[in-house]
Structure 1
Amino acid sequence: MNIVQEQLPAGQPLAEALIQDFTRVSDYYEYNPAEEQSFGRRLAWLDQSEHLRVDRKELVKRLRAFNQLHNRHEAVSASLDQLEQPGTPVIVGGQQSGLFTGPLLVIYKAATIIKAARQAASQLGRPVVPVFWIAGEDHDWDEVDHTYVLSSDLKVTRIRLAHEHAQGTPVSWTELDAEAWEQAAGELEQLLPGTEFKPGLMELYRNAAAGSATLTDCFAKLMGEWFGQYGLVLLDSADPEIRRLETPVFAAMISRNDELEQAYRGTADEMTRRGFTLQADARENGANLFYIHKGERLLLFKQDGKFCDRKGRVAFTRDELLAELELHPERFSNNVLTRPLMQDTLLPVLGAVLGSGEIAYWALTRRAFPVLDLQMPILLPRESFTVLEGTLQKHMEKYDLSWDDVKRPEAFQAKRQAWLAGQDSLNLEERFAEIKSVFTGMYDPLIEQLGGIQAGLIKLGSANRDKIVDQIEYLRGKAMDALEKSNEAGLRHFDRIELSLFPLGKPQERVYNIFYYLSRYGTDWIDGLLGIPYDVTGKHRILNL
């Protein structure tokens, strides 16, 4: 595997500035991740603030139970033993539990967490535990119920779970039947190339699905299979026992909700004035908490002294909401602005691995941390990759295509058209343009002269000219179609490059699933990924296979 660094803009000025121009955004982030001393400073803060977090032993007890079910590995048990000891911090990152684990970026995030924990441990001389936060409390089923695979006939094909999901229900509460699991397996099996690794890979998925009630269960089993050996601990944010441990934190969020809102909105207003685009909605009177009512996750707002949802299905005074929390903590969950605070009270977070969009919306939370006597952790950019298979490398060399050509749609299409034009020995475009020019040049004066005989002939002549021009253009189109068909093999090479690297106009890592690459290269591909040197900047790299 050859690794080359190539630029792929984050598209998020805040995320880019975090690494490249920290002083510009130091009002919104506590630590500069590129400075080595940030890790020592953060560790010192964690050591003196141990009393602010939930009891380690109770947390580890629950994490052991969950990982015993889905991520049973000696290295995970060793990680939990370490986490149980005071002074052991974590590197954490998370994602929703998607079908077949979702897009490749999920895999890259897990790898980044593990590598960042290794490096921090080496630097600090203290164990650092990698933790993956499964966002099982999220309820956007349409984001997690599908994945994409490139078919052999060069179509970006979506595989979607055939399941009627109750609107607003958390993913970890949504149970699937055997038919839904097998339907997805059958579609995937049809799309994956026939290789020596495919049968074992499909068996792995079917075994994981057979032992799973929910998408979160299956996600955890697959992630455990691939990353448990590296000591990656899995945490389901919707776990009722985890929620019980979080009860005092929710109580603080409810009691000090106005202060939290003021922190979010004040930062949002300031960022807007400075020209930054907000990546999360700091709404006026927003409680930034969800309440699960009859299985549906409702976002709470404050109105007339009560916490309620927009449609008025629930309404609680502050005291009533606190009483409900004591009785039913499992009915409460965070939104994107309070989740970072909950994560920091549940875990001793040295650093949080985030995508560029997450880094951007975390900027809204820095001033909320002190409301709960907390401090924003180090934010570490997720590593970013594009897999470039050997065949694609050969195609790019053959057609003189650089990474810059491929990543810019207009440049890529220009190269494609230039190559096709180079195959046109008859110079069809020029000749048809010349014919139309000569024809109209001769015909237009005649039409004007005919107007001297009878005025109506000008209109008739113009219509006649346009019909002839249309017929010339029709023949030009047919000729160009024939040219494309005679060069179909080359154009398919261009299509394969584009659809492999930037499917649906997006970076590969945001669309395609890991199963395709594991079916081609086996699980050693993951070992290779973990062997790539860690880059704290998260700069994009090409994996030449």
Structure 2
Amino acid sequence: MISTETYQLKSAQPLTEAYTNRTDPRIEALYGYHAGNEQDWTKRLDSLRKNGSTRADASSLAEVLRAYNEKAGGSAKTMEGIELLSGGAPVVIGGQQASLWTGPLLVIHKAVSILGAAKSAGQQLGTPVVPVFWIAGEDHDWDEANHAYVITAEQELSKLTAERPQGPRTSVSRSLVSEEQWRQLADELEQALPHSEFKGPLLEQIRQSSEHCSSLSELFAKMLTMLFGNDGLVLLDADDPQLRKLEAPMFQQMLLRNDELEEAYVSAAHHVKELGYALQADVNEGSANLFLFNKDNGDERTLLYKRDGGFEDRKGSASWSKEELLQILEEHPQQFSNNVLTRPIMQDYLFPVLATVLGPGEIAYWALTGGAFRVLGMEMPIIVPRMSFTLIEGTIAKYMTKYELSFADVMERFEERKEQWLKEQDELAIEQKFGEVKTAFAEMYEPLLQMASNIQPGLAKLGDTNKQKILEQIGFLESKTTDAFNKQFEASIRQLERIRLAILPGGKPQERMLTMAVYWNRYGDAWLQKIMEVPYCRTGGHEIVFL
């Protein structure tokens, strides 16, 4: 039986907390449906069935998805899901930017949540619900995508990084990675990971998956297929040229009705701020909320702004009329791309989205999109908070027991608890005795300071400076004495730091830093199976999983 504990992970997004826990009735209108309301799932499905004619052609979409997933090594179960999509089956969808291998563990958590939500919905509604992962290969922030963190054999956090190809800032899917670079990255991973029985198969799988991959997005898709293909996860790359052809009618609407969409985003932003919440996405006046891959500048992904009835880049160095953009769209739809505010609409145009699985930041900025959906005669799908997990290995659990540390202690007050433990070992009462000496010195010195200042007032400042220097020297000796005493506990300090490295690497939650290779190397696929066995919860939550 799987061993888990539930932990209330603190979110940096008050709006997300309010939505998830339903603590602020004022925000319900921003989202409409709620994942925790079972009736909303039935309502949303009924709505999808009534409005099927407003979406992209399902059979054409299935054809694009079939080709993409075949290239990624898609399983028979994934192909079954695509066949269901061609017949109009609803989906649960979520996504992430493509990252090196699979990026941080939160990507795995997102995929697990998508699968869980689709299965749960299908059981309730009595109809197949297809799980879809949207790879945001159109994003151009290479520095967010190009790395993975591992824990080395020396118990250090190591960042493995793929250098950005030369040229303009284009999408991650269009940024080419050479075979030599793949080999170099795999070699660096081999050097970094501790030896284990699973290390050889892991590296072999990564090297095989890298063959004939031209981008981070392609390898990302292959790795997700390897991990979740047998569970039926359907993948797409948002920068797929064939997908862009299907998206062209919605891009046309976004261009023709751009002013109305902007007004909806700006209005929502004002409303969110009036409710006392911070914005989690930029709503800039004049922004078209669309990107164009500028052929005249090496396919650089350029955000469009509206000026004087036309469109320009941010600096005004390139411009297009609305008619020119519509012409480009007709001839080269692959040159268009969504931003975070228009992507939700495009997603809903392509698929009958029953629900979308989102992280905390995403839930917060989706609050800005409800009015934009309505402008185009659509409605926001059900927002499902993704589940999150912390993996705790047996050795780490033993250390936590040894030092009487709870999970909350590590997440919320680790340094304080570490210092407390060291003080408890101090039978000599070093801090107390030095404190007594400092107090006694200050008391003895005060009459001398008073006498000197009475003789000559100017000596008061000199005397006070002298006093502070002596106290500093006493403090210096205290620090050296404490360090010398703590050296007796170096092994314990290493164990304590190992706890922090495993659970809060780099001072951040495990899921935001470590890549799955850390655990695959230690446990094969057993770590993933344990996550998959955790009971699914539609309103998210954080589970501690003991390996």
Give the TM-score normalised by the residue count of structure 2: 0.95
3-state SS of 1:216 partner = helix
Aligned mates of 1:417, 1:464 — CA distance in 2: 31
Q: Which letter maps to 1:237?
A: A
- Cα distance change, pair 113–458 in 1 and its aligned pair in 2 (3 A): closer
Q: After superposition, what is the alpha-carbon deviation per residue over 1:413-465, rounded to whole angstroms, capped at 9, x for unaligned?
A: 22211111111121111112222333343344345546677888777766655
Name the amino acid aligned to 1:215: L
SS at the partner of 1:28? helix
1:141-194 CA-partner distances (Å, limit 9, x unpaired): 010111212234343221111334534210000001123222222222222221
For residues 50 and 131 of structure 2, the distance between their equivalents in structure 1, rounded to whole angstroms, comes to 21
**Offset of 1:374 from its aligned partner?**
1.3
Distance in 2 separating the partners of 1:519 and 1:77 = 30
* Unaligned 5+ runs, structure 2: none
User: Quick check: 1:279–1:360 contact (8 Å CA) kept in 2?
Assistant: yes
What is the one-letter code of the residue matched to 1:483?
A: F
Q: Which amino acid counterpart does residue 471 of structure 1 have in structure 2?
A: Q
Q: Does the 8 Å CA contact 2:530/2:545 hold for their aligned counterparts?
A: no
User: Take 1:406 and 1:513, find their aligned partners in 2: how far apart are those partners?
Assistant: 20
- Counterpart in the other structure of 2:309: 305
Does the alignment pair 1:137 with 2:125?
A: no
How far off its partner does 1:95 sit?
0.3
Check 1:446–1:270 CA distance in 2 against 1; reply closer, same or farther (3 A cut).
Answer: closer
CA separation of 1:275 and 1:468: change in aligned 2, threshold 3 A: closer
CA–CA distance in structure 1, aligned partners of residues 373 and 456 of structure 2: 85
- Find the aligned partners of 1:450 and 1:525 in 2 and give their Cα distance: 72
CA shift for structure 1 position 19: 2.8
Check conservation: 1:2, 1:543, Cα contact below 8 A.
yes
Q: Given the superposition, is the C-alpha separation of residues 90 and 459 from structure 1 closer, same or farther in structure 2, using an over 3 Å criterion?
A: closer
CA RMSD, 1 decimal: 1.9
C-alpha separation between the residues in 1 aligned to 2:507 and 2:48?
A: 42
Among 390, 402, 408, the alignment partner of 1:404 is 408
In the other structure, the counterpart of 1:373 is: 377
Between the aligned partners of 2:48 and 2:460, the Cα distance in structure 1 is 87
Partner Cα separation in structure 2 for residue 412 and residue 269 of structure 1 = 39
* Contact kept? 1:177, 1:213, Cα under 8 Å: yes
| Matches for 1:347-496 after TM superposition, within 5 Å | 347-408=351-412, 411-446=413-448, 448-449=450-451, 465-496=467-498
Cα deviation, 1:460-516, whole Å, max 9, x if unaligned, reads: 766655554443322212111112211111112221222221222221111111110
User: Is the Cα contact below 8 Å between 1:163 and 1:180 reproduced in 2?
Assistant: no
Structure 1 length normalisation: TM-score? 0.95
SS of 1:367's partner is helix
Letter in 2 for 1:81: E
Question: Aligned partners of 2:272 and 2:453: how far apart in 1?
Answer: 67
The answer on 1:335 being equivalent to 2:339 is: yes
Residues 453 and 56 of structure 1: is their aligned pair in 2 closer, same or farther, counting only changes over 3 Å? closer
Once the two structures are superposed, the pairs formed by residues 26-37 of structure 1 within 5 Å of their partners are 26-37=28-39
Where does 1:193-342 land on structure 2 (aligned, <5 Å)? 193-293=194-294, 294=297, 295-342=299-346
Q: Aligned letter for 2:327?
A: A
Aligned length: 542
Write the letter of the residue equivalent to 2:131: P
Work out whether residues 360 and 385 of structure 2, in 8 Å CA contact, stay in contact via their aligned partners in 1: yes
* 499-508 or 296-305, larger mean C-alpha shift: 499-508
1:62 is aligned to 64
Report percent identity of matched pairs: 46
The Cα of 1:71 is off from its aligned counterpart by 2.9
Contact map agreement 1:154 1:495 (CA 8 A) in 2: no
Over 3 Å counting, the alpha-carbon distance change for 1:454 and 1:373 in structure 2 is closer
Could you tell me which amino acid in structure 1 is paired with residue 254 of structure 2? M
SS of corresponding position for 1:59: helix
Unaligned runs of 5+ in 1: none
CA distance in 1, matches of 2:465, 2:392: 53
CA contact (8 A) 1:95 1:106 kept: yes
Contact (CA 8 Å) 1:76, 1:233: kept in 2 or not? yes
Spell out, residue by residue over 1:78-117, the C-alpha distance to the aligned partner (whole angstroms, 9 max, x if none): 111111113x111110001111211100001001111111
Which residue, 344, 350, 366 being the options, matches 1:346?
A: 350
Between 162-171 and 414-423, the greater mean CA deviation after superposition = 162-171
